C-alpha cells in the first residue's frame, strides 16, 4: 500500500514494485541548524585551543628533535635533524644543563604541591567556618572572593608594591616590629620562590573555597547534625535482662 499526493492510500499489485517516491523527501538531510548548532557554538573554543595549546605543543616537540642554534633561529626548516641528542643532554644530570633541568623540575613540583595543598586547606577551612555563620555570611563570602575576582594585573601591581625592598609594606612592617635587621629582597634571589608561592596561594585559595562551598550546599543539613546514640549501654542491657 502506498500514499498518493492527496494523502489517500492506494493498493499496489501483489509482487509489484512500490511507486517511486521523490528522492528529496526520502533522503535525510545531513545538515540541519538544529543538529549543527552545538558544534558551531564550540567551534571558536576548539580553534582557540588549537592555536594556543595544541599547535605550539606540536611545534615544541618538533623543535626538540632538531639542532636549533643561533645560525638557524631565523629559519627553522634548515636546521639539521639531531634525533635524541637534545634529550641525552637534558637527561645527563651530571652536566650543567641536566642539573638545571632537575632543579627546575623540583621547584615546579614544590610550587605545585605547596600552592594546591595550602589553597585547598584554606578553602576548606573557610567553607567550614562560613557554614556556621548566619548574619554577615554573604559579606564574608564576597570578601573571600575578592582575590579571585581581582584582575591579575591589579593583583601584580599591588603585590609588587607590598614586596618592594626599600619602601614596600612588608619590609616596613618587619622593620617596625624589629623582626629583621636589614631589608631583604623579596622579588629576587632565594626569597623570590616564597613570594611567588604566597601570591599564588592568595589568588587561588578563593577558587578552592568557592568549589567546596558549592559542594557543601547540596549536603542535607540533617545529615550533618549529631544524632543521639541509640545503642544500649551495658547497664541498660543488664537491667533489661533482670526485668525480663
String of DSSP letters for 11-63: PPPTTPPPPPPPHHHHSPPS--HHHHHHHHHHHHHHHHHIIIIIHHHHHHHHH
Looking at the structure, do residues 111 and 199 belong to the same domain, yes or no?
A: yes
Is 230 contained in some domain?
no
The phi, psi pair for 194, rounded to 5°, reads -65, -40
Looking at the structure, do residues 61 and 103 belong to the same domain, yes or no?
A: no
Give the position of cell 606540536: 58
Range of the domain at 186: 96-218
Is 161 contained in some domain?
yes
Is 199 contained in some domain?
yes
Looking at the structure, do residues 174 and 214 belong to the same domain, yes or no?
A: yes
Looking at the structure, do residues 112 and 196 belong to the same domain, yes or no?
A: yes
Looking at the structure, do residues 83 and 104 belong to the same domain, yes or no?
A: no
* Total domains in the fold of the chain: 2
Is 66 contained in some domain?
yes
| Tens digits of residue pLDDT in 35-83 | 788 888 999 999 999 999 999 999 889 888 988 887 887 787 788 888 8
Is 44 contained in some domain?
yes
Query: What's the gap between Cα 227 and its chain centre?
Result: 37
Closest-CA residue to 221 (of 132, 135, 126, 98): 132
Res 205: pLDDT = 92
Looking at the structure, do residues 133 and 214 belong to the same domain, yes or no?
A: yes
Looking at the structure, do residues 138 and 54 belong to the same domain, yes or no?
A: no
CATH number at residue 107: 1.10.3720.10
Looking at the structure, do residues 82 and 112 belong to the same domain, yes or no?
A: no
**Cα 103 to Cα 112: distance, rounded to the nearest angstrom:** 14
**Cα 104 to Cα 16: distance, rounded to the nearest angstrom:** 80
Looking at the structure, do residues 101 and 85 belong to the same domain, yes or no?
A: no
Looking at the structure, do residues 140 and 176 belong to the same domain, yes or no?
A: yes
Looking at the structure, do residues 107 and 61 belong to the same domain, yes or no?
A: no
Is 11 contained in some domain?
no
- Point out the domain boundary residue: 75, 90, 105: 90
pLDDT in tens, the chain (244 residues): 545 545 555 555 555 555 444 555 545 566 677 778 888 899 999 999 999 999 999 988 988 898 888 788 778 778 888 888 888 888 888 888 888 888 999 999 999 999 999 999 999 998 888 877 767 777 888 888 888 888 888 888 889 889 888 888 888 888 888 887 788 888 888 889 999 999 999 999 999 998 988 888 777 766 555 555 555 555 544 444 444 4
Looking at the structure, do residues 214 and 103 belong to the same domain, yes or no?
A: yes
pTM: 0.62
Amino acid at each position: 500500500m502506498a500514499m498518493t499526493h492527496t494523502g489517500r492510500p492506494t493498493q499496489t499489485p501483489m509482487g509489484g514494485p512500490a511507486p517511486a517516491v521523490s528522492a528529496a523527501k526520502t533522503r535525510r538531510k545531513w545538515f540541519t541548524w538544529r543538529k549543527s548548532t552545538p558544534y558551531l557554538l564550540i567551534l571558536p573554543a576548539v580553534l582557540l585551543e588549537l592555536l594556543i595549546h595544541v599547535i605550539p605543543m606540536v611545534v615544541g616537540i618538533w623543535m626538540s628533535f632538531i639542532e636549533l642554534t643561533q645560525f638557524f633561529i631565523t629559519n627553522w626548516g634548515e636546521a639539521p635533524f639531531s634525533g635524541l641528542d637534545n634529550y641525552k643532554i637534558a637527561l645527563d644530570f651530571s652536566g650543567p644543563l641536566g642539573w638545571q633541568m632537575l632543579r627546575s623540575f623540583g621547584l615546579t613540583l614544590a610550587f605545585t604541591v605547596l600552592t594546591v595543598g595550602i589553597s585547598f586547606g584554606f578553602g576548606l577551612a573557610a567553607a567550614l567556618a562560613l557554614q556556621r555563620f548566619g548574619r554577615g555570611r554573604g559579606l564574608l563570602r564576597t570578601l573571600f572572593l575578592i582575590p579571585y575576582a581581582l584582575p591579575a594585573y591589579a593583583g601584580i601591581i599591588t603585590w609588587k608594591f607590598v614586596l618592594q625592598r626599600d619602601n614596600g609594606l612588608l619590609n616596613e612592617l618587619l622593620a617596625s616590629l624589629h623582626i629583621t635587621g636589614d631589608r631583604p629582597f623579596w622579588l629576587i634571589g632565594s626569597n623570590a620562590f616564597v613570594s611567588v608561592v604566597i601570591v599564588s596561594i592568595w589568588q587561588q585559595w578563593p577558587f578552592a573555597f568557592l568549589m567546596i562551598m558549592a559542594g557543601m550546599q547540596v549536603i542535607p543539613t540533617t545529615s550533618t547534625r549529631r544524632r543521639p546514640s541509640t545503642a544500649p549501654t551495658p547497664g541498660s542491657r543488664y537491667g533489661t535482662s533482670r526485668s525480663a
